[in-house]
Amino acid sequence: MKKLFLSLLFVSSLVINAQDEEKGTFTLSGTVDLYYSSNLSKNSLGSVGVLTDVPANGFGLGMANTIFSYEKGKAGVVADLAYGPRANAANAYVGAINQLYAYYNASEKVTLTLGQFNTWYGYEVISPAGNFNYSVSYLFNAGPFSHTGIKLDYAVSEDLSLMFALTNPHGVTAGANPTDDYQLGFQAGYKGQYFNLAYGADGFGDTDVLYLDYTGGFDLSDSFYLGINAAYANSDDADAGYQGIALYLQKTLSEGFSLGLRPEFFTTTSGSGDSNQSAYTFTANKSLTSSLNLIGEFRYDTSNDVTFFGRDNVSGATLAAVYSF
């Protein structure tokens, strides 16, 4: 009887382990953000630098971002859904879908991904929980935001990584490519420094757009960090492009509290002439809990070539709450 009992326990453990393996791993995460923004320039309307499709003073909604992930064995899927004005501004052409893709870990070093995924290009991301600042840079707004296609990630070593991608033009609706044009993508990363490239059709009528980007940063001390984003884009067909650089200086003053300064210089280029503008953003970032951050900002934009709500400079203040789960 004892042997039979032990045998039943052994068989039961095998069944339970098999069931656990069949079920895989499900995770749920996301963010919610809200803000108050005020344009401080006299006789001017509109928020300053806040990513939204409703540019106005006062209280505003960011987005609700919910990420469903399921992994079983070497494969998995991610459904990243985002709702609200911030999501609309970043993903207007795909509605609530921020990301939707499947992946396969071919080996410990190689991962294949198919579907729609956020861009590998640039320093800032759509979800505010991934950024130190709440307002976004000109470089971020210049895009691209997301891609639909296939990519291969190769972890060459602990320090070196490579990525290759073939995607639809980033400006067309997910799942549609009526012109049968494509973009090529590449990324090389080494010890936290990334060189990014995209080339091909942009979905807005040009087929030869080249995007080059460097994203990285350095710990200047235990409490002082310097982030860098430099980018260049050009199309010979359109005779237009852009270039710019943004620095992210961040000083940790105590546990959960940091101050930052983001100076940015941005130029749009064309055959008819260039337009320069710059922005200076001072940010205080405070963690109230492990999930809730308060972000206070003052931002000043200026230019001799373009106008902001009819002015050559504009300033604004923003207070945002970002909750992550």
Q: In this predicted structure, what is the pLDDT of residue 44?
A: 62
H helix runs in the chain, sequence order:
2-23, 85-90, 138-141
Q: Mean pLDDT, to the nearest integer, of 206-229?
A: 96
CA distance 155 to 110: 7
Q: In this predicted structure, what is the pLDDT of residue 93?
A: 57
Question: What tokens does 219 get?
Answer: 């710990």
Residue 136 domain flag: yes
Residue 254 domain flag: yes
Q: In this predicted structure, what is the pLDDT of residue 5?
A: 43
Residue 16 domain flag: no
Four-residue CA torsion sign, 143, 30, 24, 10 = positive
Residue 73 domain flag: yes
Question: In the predicted model, is pLDDT for residue 102 greater than 50?
Answer: yes
Task: Encode pLDDT of 175-203 as tens digits.
Answer: 678 888 999 999 999 999 999 999 999 88
Q: In this predicted structure, what is the pLDDT of residue 92?
A: 63
| Residues 6 or more apart in contact with residue 20 via CB below 8 angstroms | none
Residue 46 domain flag: yes
| Residues 6 or more apart in contact with residue 129 via CB below 8 angstroms | 31, 33, 293, 322, 324
Domain hosting residue 64, numbered range: 27-324
| Residues 6 or more apart in contact with residue 248 via CB below 8 angstroms | 123, 132, 133, 217, 225, 226, 227, 228, 229, 260, 262
pLDDT interval class at 95 (50, 70, 90): low
Phi, psi of 171 (to 5 degrees): -90, 5
CA distance 195 to 305: 30
Residue 2 domain flag: no
Q: In this predicted structure, what is the pLDDT of residue 174?
A: 60
pTM of the model: 0.88
pLDDT interval class at 23 (50, 70, 90): confident
pLDDT interval class at 40 (50, 70, 90): confident
Of all residues in the chain, the percent with pLDDT exceeding 70 is 90
Question: What tokens does 100 get?
Answer: 């939707």
Q: Mean pLDDT, to the nearest integer, of 13-36?
A: 76
Q: In this predicted structure, what is the pLDDT of residue 2?
A: 46
CA distance 86 to 62: 5
- Residue 65: half-sphere exposure toward Cβ, Cα within 13 Å: 29
Q: Mean pLDDT, to the nearest integer, of 47-70?
A: 89
Task: Encode pLDDT of 106-153 as tens digits.
Answer: 999 999 999 999 999 999 999 999 999 999 999 999 988 999 999 999
103-109 long-range Cβ contacts below 8 angstroms, 24+ apart: 103/75, 103/76, 103/77, 103/78, 104/74, 104/75, 105/74, 105/75, 106/74, 108/155, 109/154, 109/155, 109/156
Q: In this predicted structure, what is the pLDDT of residue 193?
A: 97
Task: Encode pLDDT of 219-228 as tens digits.
Answer: 999 999 999 9
| Residues 6 or more apart in contact with residue 24 via CB below 8 angstroms | 70, 71, 72, 73, 76
Q: In this predicted structure, what is the pLDDT of residue 17?
A: 52
pLDDT interval class at 295 (50, 70, 90): very high
Q: In this predicted structure, what is the pLDDT of residue 3?
A: 46
At 152, the amino acid letter reads L
Give me the number of domains the chain comprises: 1
Neighbours of 200 (CB within 10 A): 21
Question: In the predicted model, is pLDDT for residue 21 greater than 90?
Answer: no
Q: In this predicted structure, what is the pLDDT of residue 43?
A: 62
How high is the mean pLDDT of the chain? 89
Residue 160 domain flag: yes
Residue 18 domain flag: no
Task: Encode pLDDT of 260-273 as tens digits.
Answer: 999 999 999 988 88
Specify the CATH number for the domain of residue 238. 2.40.160.10
